[in-house]
Amino acid sequence: MTDISAPPADRRSTFDDEAVHDLLRGVAALTGSTLVGDLARAVAKTPRADLSIAFNHKQLGSKLWLREEWIAFNRAPDVRALVVGGWHGALSALLLDDPRAGVAHATSLDIDPGCAPVARELNRRFAEQGRFEAVTADMYDFDYRAQPFDCVINTSCEHIADLRGWLGLLPDGATVVLQSNDYRREPDHIACVDSLEDFEAQAGLAAVFFRGERPTKNYRRFMLIGRR
């Protein structure tokens, strides 16, 4: 007699890249989301990339919050955006995919050479339109004055020991979008802040146009939009 409560012997206990790819393609077809289709292709083309972390609900929640506040703030068309610590290019993809954001071109900058190939694959649709570039460089060595960026975005300020020192590398008057948090359990979070007021003091911006915080289960995320 067959025990129908027992799982089939070949049933996967965890998803592999092929299964995730098939699942995402199905979600893309179901929802009509081109961006989900882009993610499905990136999973297939860049196996073993930690896209599951870059696209988990907490990461996406913070990035979608940023996108909505940027849309509410921005009045300029054809914005050229630089995303510092861009990782796998998820934020660039979210901004480029939404015409309300007004982002004509996004550059994703990360020190890890393994990030650029994944970011290019995820944003291949935009790269083919001449709207996306992935750059491998140290954020402290990058020449921020060589290209006319309309805004500089850094969602990882908790990783920066001297935030004002880094901001000092940007041109005077540069528009910036910054995020940090109070999650100190992560060893790499060396510059967390306890409040939105602490974050403002840490950044020392010449002007702040938006300030806000977003609670999550384990921490609070803080965001500033302002001018250096």
Amino acid letter at 103? V
CB atoms within 10 A of CB 16: 9
- Cβ(151)–Cβ(177) below 8 Å: yes
Q: How much of the chain exceeds pLDDT 70, in percent?
A: 80
Let me know how long the chain is.
Answer: 228
Rg, Å, the chain Cα set? 19
pLDDT band at 13 (very low <50, low <70, confident <90, very high): very low
The answer to whether residue 35 scores a pLDDT higher than 80 is no
Worst-scoring range by mean pLDDT, 5-14, 48-57, 85-94, 116-125? Answer: 5-14
Structural domains present in the chain:
54-227 (3.40.50.150)
The pLDDT of residue 91 is: 96
| CA 45 centroid distance within chain | 20
pLDDT band at 5 (very low <50, low <70, confident <90, very high): very low
Cα four-point dihedral sign 170, 171, 173, 176 = negative
CB atoms within 10 A of CB 190: 11
The answer to whether residue 43 scores a pLDDT higher than 90 is no
Q: How does pLDDT run across 210-219, given as a tens digit for each residue?
A: 999 999 888 9
Tokens matching residue 19: 């299964």
